[in-house]
Amino acid sequence: MSGTVVIGAQWGDEGKGKITDYLAENAQVVVRYQGGTNAGHTVEADGKQYKLHLIPSGILYKDTLNIIGDGVAIDPAALFEEMDYLRGLGADASNLVISDRAHVVMPYHKAIDSLSERRRGSSDIGTTGKGIGPCYTDKFERSGIRVCDLLNRDVFVKKATENIELKNELIEKIYGGEPLDGDSIIEEYLSYAERIRPIAADTTYVLYKEMKKGSSILFEGAQGTLLDIDYGTYPFVTSSHPISGGVCVGAGVGPTAIDKVVGVCKAYTTRVGKGPFPTELLDGTGNLIREKGNEYGTPTGRPRRCGWLDLVIVKFASRLSGITDVAVTKLVTLAGIEKIKVCVGYELNGKVIEYFPASLEELAKCKPVFEEYDGWDGSIMNATEYADLPENAKRYLRRIEEITEARVSIVSVGPEREHTIIVR
């Protein structure tokens, strides 16, 4: 048995889907443990592009079991849409089990997500609007509806009726929005229940049996370390735990189920939505990276903010998740840029600090300390092994290793499976 976690070491969109799909070739099980349709994981294989939101990135291998764990916020309509979409692309989405303990995203969660953003005005978070924050809010407030509740008609009708009544008051009286039609929501969700029933299970038990059999398990994170509810740039974060610590609670396994933690790190930094971003480039270089890297969000199509690689945050991610291996993606995007900068520390009140401040006010005062590296050319795309990489790119990778104290064991030089170099 082996357990490998794949997490985002930055603000999301590092290429977790690509790396998970690549590693899934040698795994029997792939598990999502947090987040929901706020995630957008793009996988390219056999000349096709697959955009995944809820379904784990192991789904393209027909013998791999895919699990949506209890820590995920499941939007049933989006789940079925994604299953149909995959079938439309010729992928068999049937090897999928979802946790009966996972919380269900309801229409009022989505309504409240956008209304609360509107009310925040210029202090909005820039959420994906998928109802993820309000769904987790209900989970912790203990009024959430779980998959097992949806499967019990009486329980569901009672809980949904109570919730819709309360949420409509909130929507109308606090947010000044339009109330939702409770009957049609209940009818719609009861129809989902029948489609969910055959794929719902106690996924902790499914995983336990797989571990007993000696299966290799991949835990696929969504979002990234700096979006973690506790360790990210709060309040500009998501509402779950993308870090490796999230695996135990979100999949229902002990820490001993984890042997390896792969931190996925883009060769530069991007961020969607609002919040601090010390190495952000608001100039032509930022635009160049956005266009060359096609940095537009998968769930919302929003342009991603782009900046230089910030190793202060990747080092923080490495420490928080116990990253053993780094997978560096999108080195190709930087090809052709003559001088590439890397942030190796923050200067605060005249002193260089290496930690990542909790306070956003303190973070705002930090100035990135940059090192400058000579760039590489487009021939990097043709590299099939480490030795083929340009010397300047190797120097860049070595610096990532030194600062993160983890080995770079995967280098991705393109979106397809074959554009992947295993270093060790």
x/- mask, ligand GDP, residues 82-121, rule CB under 6 A, reads ----------------------------------------
Active-site residue, from 13, 70, 75, 310: 13
Q: How far apart are the C-alpha atoms of 217 and 211, rounded to whole Å?
A: 8
Longest dimension (CA), the chain: 65
Which part of the chain contacts ligand GDP (CB under 6 A), choosing from 132-140, 255-263, 397-405, 407-415? 407-415
**Least gap, CB of 153 to Mg ion (angstroms):** 36
Q: How far apart are the C-alpha atoms of 387 and 241, rounded to whole Å?
A: 37
Q: How far apart are the C-alpha atoms of 424 and 419, rounded to whole Å?
A: 16
By beta-carbon proximity to ligand GDP, the closer residue of 15 and 368 is: 15
Residues that bind ligand IMO (CB under 6 A): 8, 11-13, 38-41, 125-128, 130, 132-133, 222-224, 227, 236, 238-239, 272-273
By beta-carbon proximity to ligand GDP, the closer residue of 297 and 357 is: 297
By beta-carbon proximity to ligand IMO, the closer residue of 264 and 423 is: 264
By beta-carbon proximity to ligand GDP, the closer residue of 229 and 421 is: 421
Q: Which distant-in-sequence residues (6+ apart) come within 8 Å of 87 by Cβ?
A: 93
Q: How far apart are the C-alpha atoms of 78 and 36, rounded to whole Å?
A: 10
Q: Which distant-in-sequence residues (6+ apart) come within 8 Å of 282 by Cβ?
A: none
DSSP state of 179: P
Which part of the chain contacts ligand GDP (CB under 6 A), choosing from 14-22, 169-177, 282-290, 340-348? 14-22
**Least gap, CB of 13 to Mg ion (angstroms):** 4
Size of the site for ligand GDP (CB under 6 A): 21
Active-site residue, from 41, 103, 109, 241: 41
Burial of 191 (0-12, 13-18, 19+ CB in 10 A): exposed
- According to CB under 6 A, which one of 28, 321, 329, 409 is a site residue for ligand GDP? 329
Closest residue to ligand IMO in the complex (CB): 273
Asked if 150 and 91 touch (Cβ cutoff 8 Å), the reply is no
Q: How far apart are the C-alpha atoms of 378 and 333, rounded to whole Å?
A: 9
Segment holding 371, helix H or strand E = strand 367-374
130 sits near ligand GDP (criterion: CB under 6 A): no
Asked if 95 and 59 touch (Cβ cutoff 8 Å), the reply is yes
329 binds, among ligand GDP, Mg ion, ligand IMO, none (CB under 5 to 8 A by kind): ligand GDP
240 sits near ligand GDP (criterion: CB under 6 A): no
Determine the 3-state secondary structure of 160 from DSSP.
helix
Q: Which of residues 15-74 bind ligand GDP (CB under 6 A)?
A: 15-18, 40-42, 44
Question: Distance from first CA to last CA of the chain, Å, rounded?
Answer: 20
- According to CB under 6 A, which one of 211, 239, 412, 423 is a site residue for ligand GDP? 412
Position 343, amino acid? C
287 binds, among ligand IMO, ligand GDP, Mg ion, none (CB under 5 to 8 A by kind): none
Segment holding 147, helix H or strand E = helix 147-150
Identify any residues that bridge with 29 across adjacent strands, giving them in sequence order: 65, 217
Identify any residues that bridge with 247 across adjacent strands, giving them in sequence order: none
Residues that bind Mg ion (CB under 5 A): 13, 40
**Least gap, CB of 75 to ligand IMO (angstroms):** 12
The reply to whether 241 belongs to the active site is no
Determine the 3-state secondary structure of 73 from DSSP.
strand
**Phi, psi for residue 123 in degrees, rounded to 5:** -95, 20
The reply to whether 310 belongs to the active site is no
100 binds, among ligand GDP, Mg ion, ligand IMO, none (CB under 5 to 8 A by kind): none
**Least gap, CB of 121 to ligand GDP (angstroms):** 28
Peptide bond into 198 cis (omega under 30): no
By beta-carbon proximity to ligand IMO, the closer residue of 67 and 344 is: 67
Q: Please report where in the chains the tokens 């995959």 appear, as a residue.
A: 86
- According to CB under 6 A, which one of 335, 414, 421, 423 is a site residue for ligand GDP? 414
| Residues tagged active-site | 13, 41
Q: Where on the chain is the footprint of ligand GDP (CB under 6 A)?
A: 8, 12-18, 40-42, 44, 298, 329-330, 332-333, 412-415
